[in-house]
């Protein structure tokens, strides 16, 4: 593992890695979704996330000051140096599982960016304020699908319940606060009650119950990832691994 | 050398576009005129000025802002502006990018809105109407003008557009999303 980056760079890395890994995951749906509406929407969300990742990773490199740009950080780090939460690296599964992941994450990301837009650090605030507009669409999209699947047919409902049940165990990590986030004046734990209220309201609309409490799974922020991230990176980073420094 | 004037957008006011360039120096006017002919790469019917991508122009630099963080056209837009500046004899005018304040569809000029409509894209609602993602007022069909329209997909062929359908004339159309 590389030397620990300065706290503010680590904050930017977390934000960038969350967006990058989720963007990469969602892009796996491109051309595979069962309906064009879904294909377009997931590709659009992926594009927004990758755009946000480029900004946050660029900022991380700038703060770090070692000459690494967003591409270098995205394509030339190994699993243990990624600081994304475990939720975003979870495989797409079926569409309901993808929706469950997006639903839990987008509401968190919207609340996070809203808080970050008020940050004293103008660089973080500018990216967050810009990205917030995009993420509102993502949260609305995911919520609509939770209701459509949950309050839908027997099969879609069963799959939505299963998807939420799997993803739920990764939710606590989103709100785990530490000294790195404190460097940015960010209190993620304080976002939890607003997130709970949003999630509960949509679940009520979808006639679904909250999944049963799971033992929370943590570790992503400190580089302890599931096996899934390595597979994702091997595909995403293939070109730079095979042809280091390739450019066109 | 231009005096350090506060750019219009710092007061929350969209930059002057279209005709409102009277206070600017001849060089700034010339640059603005060049930019008014630089089309958006994805919607060539409108210019980078019409879309509000150009935030400020001085004799030293053009300040631009991306529409979406992941907009694939961002680089193409910058290159097109660079080419226009170089071709117009303004090779020493720099291009700078800012994220703040974030781009808003409210910055699309009235002329830009007309051009979008003529091109077959329903322009986005302005101001408070944009605040709510749910319960949006129906788009006006750019072909027949009917308000008997419905959203097919909130996400369309580019990040900035949603897919709609007119139930009066049965044509599908793009609607520029509120942003
Ligand atoms: Zn019509």
Residue B3 pLDDT exceeds 60:
no
Residue of A nearest to B70 (CA): A51
Residue B5 pLDDT exceeds 70:
no
Q: How many CB pairs under 8 A join A and B?
A: 74
Residue A215 domain-assigned? no
How many domains does chain A contain in total? 1
Give the pLDDT score at B2.
Answer: 38
Task: Report the C-alpha gap between A19 and A74 in whole angstroms.
Answer: 11
Give the pLDDT score at B134.
Answer: 60
Q: What average pLDDT does this structure show over B57-82?
A: 92
The residue range of the domain holding A174 is: 7-209+224-242
Q: How confident is the model at residue B1 (pLDDT cuts 50, 70, 90)?
A: very low
Neighbouring residues of A119: CB distance < 8 A, sequence distance ≥ 6: A125, A128, A184, A185, A186
Q: What average pLDDT does this structure show over A168-191?
A: 94
Residue A154 domain-assigned? yes
Q: Where are the domains of chain B?
A: 1-119, 121-176
Residue A1 pLDDT exceeds 60:
no
**Residue A187 belongs to domain with CATH number:** 1.20.1260.10
Give the pLDDT score at B24.
Answer: 74
Residue A217 domain-assigned? no
Residue A84 domain-assigned? yes
The CA distance from A23 to the nearest CA of chain B, in Å, is: 11
Task: Report the C-alpha gap between A232 and A88 in whole angstroms.
Answer: 11
Kindly report, residue by residue over B89-130, the tens digit of the pLDDT.
999 999 999 999 999 999 999 999 999 999 999 999 887 555
Reported pTM: 0.90
Q: What average pLDDT does this structure show over A193-204?
A: 98
Chain A: which residues have CB within 8 Å of chain B? 23, 36-37, 40-41, 43-45, 47-52, 54-55, 122, 125-127, 129-134, 136-137, 140-141
Kindly write down the DSSP assignment for every residue of chain A, as one continuous string: -PPPPPHHHHHHHHHHHHHHHHHHHHHTTTTTSSSHHHHHHHHHHHHHHHHHHHHHHHHHHHHHTSS--HHHHHHS--GGG----HHHHS---SHHHHHHHHHHHHHHHHHHHHHHTT-S-HHHHHHHHHHHHHHHHHHHHHHHHHHHHHTS-HHHHHHHHHHHHHHGGGHHHHT---HHHHTTT--GGGGHHHHHHHHHHHHHHTT-PPPPP------GGGT---HHHHHHHHHHTHHHHHSTT---
Inform me whether the C-beta atom of residue B155 falls under 8 Å from chain A C-beta atoms.
yes
Fold type of domain B1-119: GMP Synthetase; Chain A, domain 3 (3.30.300)
Task: Report the C-alpha gap between B156 and A166 in whole angstroms.
Answer: 30
Tokens found for residue A161: 């319940």
Query: Where on the phi/psi map is residue A91: left (φ > 0), alpha (ψ -120 to 50), or beta?
Result: beta
Kindly report, residue by residue over A55-105, the tens digit of the pLDDT.
999 999 999 999 999 999 999 999 999 999 999 999 999 999 999 999 999
| Contact across the interface for A40 and B101, Cβ inside 8 Å | no
Query: Where on the phi/psi map is residue B68: left (φ > 0), alpha (ψ -120 to 50), or beta?
Result: beta
Residue A91 domain-assigned? yes
Query: Where on the phi/psi map is residue B65: left (φ > 0), alpha (ψ -120 to 50), or beta?
Result: beta
Residue B141 Cα to ligand 1 middle (Å): 5
Residue A186 domain-assigned? yes
Residue B7 pLDDT exceeds 70:
no
Residue B10 pLDDT exceeds 80:
no
Q: Could you tell me which of B84, B63, B68 has the C-alpha nearest to residue B9?
A: B63
Give the pLDDT score at B4.
Answer: 40
B116 three-state secondary structure: helix
């Amino acid at each position: 593992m590389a030397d620990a980056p300065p706290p503010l760079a680590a904050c930017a890395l977390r934000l960038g890695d969350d967006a990058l890994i989720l963007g990469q995951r969602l892009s796996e749906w491109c051309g595979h979704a069962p309906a064009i509406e879904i294909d377009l929407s997931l590709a659009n969300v992926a594009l927004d996330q990758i755009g946000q990742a480029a900004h946050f990773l660029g900022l991380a490199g700038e703060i770090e000051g070692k000459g690494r740009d967003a591409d270098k950080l995205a394509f030339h780090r190994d699993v243990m140096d990624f600081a994304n939460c475990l939720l975003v690296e979870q495989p797409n599964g079926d569409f309901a599982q993808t929706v469950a992941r997006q639903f839990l994450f987008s509401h968190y990301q919207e609340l996070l960016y809203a808080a970050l837009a008020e940050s004293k650090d103008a660089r973080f605030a500018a990216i967050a304020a810009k990205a917030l507009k995009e993420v509102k669409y993502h949260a609305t999209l995911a919520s609509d699908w939770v209701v459509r699947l949950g309050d839908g047919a027997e099969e879609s409902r069963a799959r939505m319940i299963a998807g939420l049940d799997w993803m739920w165990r990764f939710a606590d990590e989103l709100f785990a606060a530490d000294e790195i986030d404190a460097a940015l004046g960010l209190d993620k734990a304080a976002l939890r009650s607003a997130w709970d209220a949003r999630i509960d309201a949509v679940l009520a609309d979808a006639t679904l119950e909250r999944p049963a409490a799971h033992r929370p799974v943590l570790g992503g922020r400190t580089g302890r990832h599931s096996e899934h991230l390595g597979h994702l990176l091997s595909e995403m980073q293939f070109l730079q691994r095979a042809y280091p420094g390739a450019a066109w | 050398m231009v005096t350090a004037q506060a750019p219009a957008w710092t007061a929350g006011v969209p930059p002057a576009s279209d005709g409102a360039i009277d206070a600017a120096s001849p060089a700034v006017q010339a640059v603005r005129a060049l930019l008014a002919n630089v089309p958006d790469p994805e919607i060539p019917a409108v210019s980078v000025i019409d879309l509000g991508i150009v935030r400020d122009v001085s004799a030293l630099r053009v300040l631009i802002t991306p529409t979406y963080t992941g907009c694939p056209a961002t680089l193409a837009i910058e290159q097109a502006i660079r080419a226009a500046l170089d071709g117009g004899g303004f090779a020493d005018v720099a291009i700078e990018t800012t994220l703040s304040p974030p781009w808003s569809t409210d910055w699309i000029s009235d002329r830009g809105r007309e051009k979008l409509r003529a091109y077959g894209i329903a322009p986005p609602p302005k101001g408070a109407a944009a605040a709510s993602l749910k319960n949006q007022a129906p788009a006006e069909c750019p072909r027949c003008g009917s308000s008997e329209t419905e959203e097919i997909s909130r996400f369309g062929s580019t990040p900035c557009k949603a897919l709609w359908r007119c139930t009066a004339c049965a044509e599908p159309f793009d609607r520029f999303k509120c942003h």
